């Protein structure tokens, strides 16, 4: 028997997330001005999609935190 192994290839979504993260690592960047220009100079649909990305990220963060807290809580019993 043989197994076909595939290299781990980042999905399109992972690549976009990494690009956004790389852009946000510039701490000299005024993110409030970025938000202003994002809201003013892009179509409403793109602004809504950006909000959706941030809400999904917040949900994932909250879920991970909730699971971590429940795990520690279970161990204390």
* Residue-wise pLDDT tens digits, 16-47: 999 999 999 999 999 999 999 988 998 999 99
Distance CA 77, CA 63 (A): 22
Predicted pLDDT of residue 10: 87
Structural domain spans, the chain:
13-75
pTM over 0.75: no
Compute φ and ψ for 7, nearest 5 degrees: -70, 150
Take residue 27 and report the two structure tokens written for it: 């701490």
């Amino acid at each position: 028997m043989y197994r076909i192994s595939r290299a781990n290839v980042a999905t399109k979504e992972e690549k976009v997330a990494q690009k956004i993260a790389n852009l946000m690592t510039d701490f000299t960047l005024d993110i409030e001005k970025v938000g202003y220009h994002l809201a003013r100079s892009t179509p409403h649909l793109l602004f809504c999609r950006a909000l959706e990305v941030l809400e999904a990220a917040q949900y994932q963060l909250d879920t991970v935190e909730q699971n971590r807290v429940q795990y520690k809580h279970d161990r204390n019993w």
